[in-house]
Structure 1
Amino acid sequence: MKWILYDIGGVLEIVDDHSWPRDLEESWSGRLGMTVEDLRARLDAAALPDTTLQTGVAEEYWRGFGAALEADDMEVAAMRAQLWDAYCGEANIELLDHARSLRGRAGLAILSNSGDGAREEEERRFGLSSIFDPICYSHEQGVAKPDAGAYRMALERMGASAEDVLFIDDNEAPARGAESCGIRAVLHRDNATTIAAIERFLAN
């Protein structure tokens, strides 16, 4: 069986992963009456847990976040909600609908660099588990793209050989990381081109 392996942010979700972190820093620093540089320095000094490679650390992270910024519980809750709204963006409906149409023709899976809590937030918004299985998150696997271990773990969970998988990502490094593991990759730039690439892969 052939598999289509998708990234989430910038592919299945319409979101600019390069701009929203900076936008949040500016919003949060303005909210708290400090400079972006001060906000960064405080968070760096707080030694917060790495939520991208660990699960079950979100509450510890946000407690430390609030203490570092001297923000009360209501402020932290508002900033936490703001982060997830920015992180998740909007559903790429066209690409999700195309993925649904592939059921029975291909296995459908996800490999995404992520933060602790992403599974719950993205499932609540988009119901990804109704389309994709497995969904491989870096914070749950303990390894992130483009590390070869991330792709190997995804292949193991899919029960697939590298040559039977097409990987889709909107960033160059993860796409090249997949190719270094023998997985064909598509650099996502627009839905039409990506869908055409998927159809060619499945037709061959």
Structure 2
Amino acid sequence: MTTKPWILFDIGGVFALADDGHWQPRFSARLRERAGLDAETFGARIDAADLPRIDIEQGGEAEYWRRVGDALGFDAAIRADVRTEFWNAYCGSANSELLAYARSLPAHVGRAALSNSADGAREEEERRFDLSSVVDPIFYSHEIGVAKPNAAAYAAALSLMNARPDDVLFIDDHRVSLDGAAAVGIRGHLHTDNATTIEAIEEFLEPYAL
């Protein structure tokens, strides 16, 4: 076997236990309550703020939080507290078992990550999880300018990994992201628990054993 196998991991909901898909509306509700606004007024102010697309653009995080603060009447101290609360909810806690397993994979196995993200995620997740010691490269949607399940996100990852689709197994906790990977020929595994994910990786790697 001359080709190199790659395990491509999602981050939120896989490496980071962040109640993926549910913390966002709860954070938005807490933000509205903190501003003392009804849902309609809150939504109108946020819409009028014309917030930067920090999910697919770099360099907009500071402006994002400035506009949120201005829209909701938050001073600098409250704005800082809200930002901290956001990143704590966004990052969640480390999936230590899966991170340790990924770190232990043989040297001939490539380890990378592809994650929908927000500007600032690389710094925040690196500080909490030391991800660069586990996976490299890491593809964040705000840095590559496109998010899963867009085919261009997977194409960008394949190009920089210098990998063939057949040699990649993608681990994600959302079926729609796996469907996007399948559309470009990448096999996927729906992460529901560590044991089955590890089993799927081991099975995928069997033909590549040295």
Q: Which TM-score bucket, shorter chain as reference?
A: over 0.9
Which consecutive aligned stretches of 4+ in structure 1 deviate over 4 angstroms post-superposition? none
**Residue aligning to 1:136:** 139
Kindly state the Cα deviation for residue 35 of structure 1 after the two structures are TM-superposed.
2.3
**Residue aligning to 2:48:** 45
**Residue aligning to 1:152:** 155
Residue identity opposite 2:61 in structure 1: A
Q: CA RMSD in A?
A: 0.9
Kindly state the Cα deviation for residue 33 of structure 1 after the two structures are TM-superposed.
1.2
Does 1:189 find its partner at 2:192? yes
Report % sequence identity: 54
**2:38 & 2:196 partners in 1: Cα distance?**
42
**1:128 & 1:140 partners in 2: Cα distance?**
16
Equivalent of 2:92 in 89, 101, 104: 89
**1:83 & 1:4 partners in 2: Cα distance?**
29
**Residue aligning to 2:11:** 8
**Residue aligning to 2:103:** 100
* 3-state SS, counterpart of residue 41 of structure 1: helix
**Residue aligning to 1:166:** 169
**1:39 & 1:119 partners in 2: Cα distance?**
29
Alignment deviations for residues 165-201 of structure 1 (CA, whole Å, 9 cap, x no partner): 0000000111010011000000111110000000000
Query: In 2, are the aligned partners of 1:146 and 1:173 still within 8 Å (CA)?
Result: yes
Query: In 2, are the aligned partners of 1:25 and 1:36 still within 8 Å (CA)?
Result: no
Gaps of 5+ in 2: none
The count of aligned residue pairs is 204
**1:155 & 1:86 partners in 2: Cα distance?**
30
* 3-state SS, counterpart of residue 186 of structure 1: strand
Normalized against structure 1, the TM-score is what?
Answer: 0.97
Kindly state the Cα deviation for residue 117 of structure 1 after the two structures are TM-superposed.
0.2
Residue identity opposite 1:58 in structure 2: E
**2:108 & 2:194 partners in 1: Cα distance?**
19
Kindly state the Cα deviation for residue 141 of structure 1 after the two structures are TM-superposed.
0.2
